[in-house]
A = this chain, B = another copy of it.
Amino acid sequence: MFHSFITRHWFAPEAITIWSDTNTVQAWLDVEVALAQSQAELGMIPENVVSAIAGACRSDRLDFGRLSVDIAHAQHPFVPVLKQLEALAGEPAAGYIHWGATTQNIFDTATALQMRQSHRLTIDALDLLDSTLADLARTHKGTLQAGRTHGQHALPTTFGYKALGWLDEIRRTRNRLNSRIGDSFVVSMGGAIGTFAAMGTRGPAVAAGVGRRLGLDVATLPLRASFDRQADYLTALALLAQIAEKVAHDVVFLQRTEVAELEEAFHHGKMGSSTMAQKRNPSTALLLISLCRLLTARVPLASWSMPRMDEGDSSATNVTDLVVPELAILGVSIARTLLKLCSGLVVHADRMATNLELTRGQIMSEAIMMRLSTSVGRHHAHEMLYEAAQRATEDRLSLVDAISQQDPRAGEIAAQIVPDNYLGAVQQLIVDGEALDESSGS
């Protein structure tokens, strides 16, 4: 999907690059270098082989065509890489490459490196999104809009408060991702079964050295059968997808022909249809929903990969070796597409105001009930309003008229209540939200 010319423009190109074959192999080689350096420092391998190893560990020196053939033959993804490295490094360095490590150590640590880079792109997009949404919230603090529950007009709110609501969830998820990246993607250098068998008691020091060199935290127990850390970060990506999907659905609905309160950015030349010339579809929002589902569906692959046989299990690591890059790319792409969607939104405040009138005042029924409650009690007021609302609906009356027919004094009271009076704490919450923005933003 990342390579087809039909769909590749859906995805963030920098993220695709991070996880390209070339970059992946280079990340492996970077880990091998850091390993050799750390071991030389501890006197486990000769100091003088390090530069030869480092010199060999450049992906542009490998023969990728032969690698491809050899990997398929050996049915092992790394032994052919090692063989080329050994040839490049020459004797005696060849004998000290990959000392005491197992393939999965290299792969997992390289993944941690690449995931840091992907994470940075995701966070950058979310930080920009933060200011975009904070702006929307501020600008539309008082832009009246119908609040809706269960698909029906409920109470008045403002569009700024809706934008703040989106922001609230997005911030929490940005914080989750930030707080987990360090623990979730770590150096794991424990050898074939995670005991540091071939490095002995110096193993933890080697791992620490690798971590220091690569800027990564280190797993206390370097178990290959553990994947809970990574899964914890990846499930936070799933939360991001779900939040993005909520925003996208809101936009799709609010752009509906009948609603028309929001509109996606449009440019001349954008095509809605091969036959219907008039179409201005919310195509970014719909694409965003698609990306979110593509991510959401993949997250179980990460969690199913947690129960691993014994000390190591390629049925699980085959899957995570494939799906972690996909999730990372999808995460960046979702953050960016959400940013694009929100940055380009056209807000039709006039239409929001018009739509607020659609129920002929029924949207104010709770407000009226609360006002009447102070004299007759909440429960009696609710009954009166229930009857009035039914009549208003059946006879196509305004709610105030229906109330007046029942009880003229109540009608008078009701007539004074307007949406602006019934916004609760909305203004204050938006002001507080801005403050939050300043303190916790990127």
Contacts and interface: CB of A to CB of B under 8 A. Distances in A.
B238 A303 contact: yes
B154 A312 contact: yes
A374 to B, nearest CB: 9
Contacts of A232: 176, 236, 239
Interface string A222-264: 0111101101100110110011011011101101111100000
12 contacts: A6-B321, A102-B274, A150-B282, A150-B312, A151-B252, A152-B279, A191-B275, A196-B429, A228-B243, A257-B358, A278-B385, A286-B315
Interface stretch (A116-124, A290-298, A404-412): A290-298
Quickly give the copy total for this chain: 4
Given A293-B301, A365-B278, A309 B151 contact: yes
Nearest to A76: B271
A154 B276 contact: yes
Interface in A140-158: 146-157
A31 interface: no
A146 B102 CA distance: 17
Interface string A184-201: 000000111111111111
B97 A197 contact: no
Contacts of A199: 424-425
B380 A64 contact: no
A92 interface: yes
Interface string A1-29: 10111111110000000000100100000
A249 to B, nearest CB: 6
Given A278-B363, A376-B95, A424-B197, A221 B147 contact: no
Contacts of A67: 5
A110 to B, nearest CB: 12
Contact of A386 (B176, B253, B277, B294): B277
Given A103-B273, A195-B161, A238 B239 contact: no
Interface in A89-107: 91-92, 94-103
A24 B3 contact: no
A102 B321 contact: no
B311 A428 contact: no
A88 interface: no
Contacts of A287: 314-315, 318
* Prevailing SS type, chain A contact patch: helix
A438 interface: no
A282 B310 CA distance: 14
A103 B318 contact: no
Nearest to A8: B68
A393 interface: yes
Contacts of A284: 75
Contacts of A211: none
Nearest to A297: B301
A322 B1 contact: yes
A281 interface: yes
Given A151-B309, A275-B369, 14 more contacts: A6-B321, A7-B321, A92-B377, A100-B275, A101-B275, A152-B280, A164-B221, A173-B228, A201-B425, A242-B304, A257-B355, A274-B382, A290-B315, A294-B322
> Residue among A96, A248, A258, A319 with the most chain B CB within 10 A?
A258
A100 B370 contact: yes
Contacts of A135: none
Contacts of A286: 150-151, 313-315, 318
A75 B283 contact: yes
A39 to B, nearest CB: 12
A228 B169 contact: yes
Closest 8 A/B residue pairs (Cβ): A95-B377, A149-B312, A277-B385, A242-B306, A196-B424, A290-B318, A147-B193, A278-B389
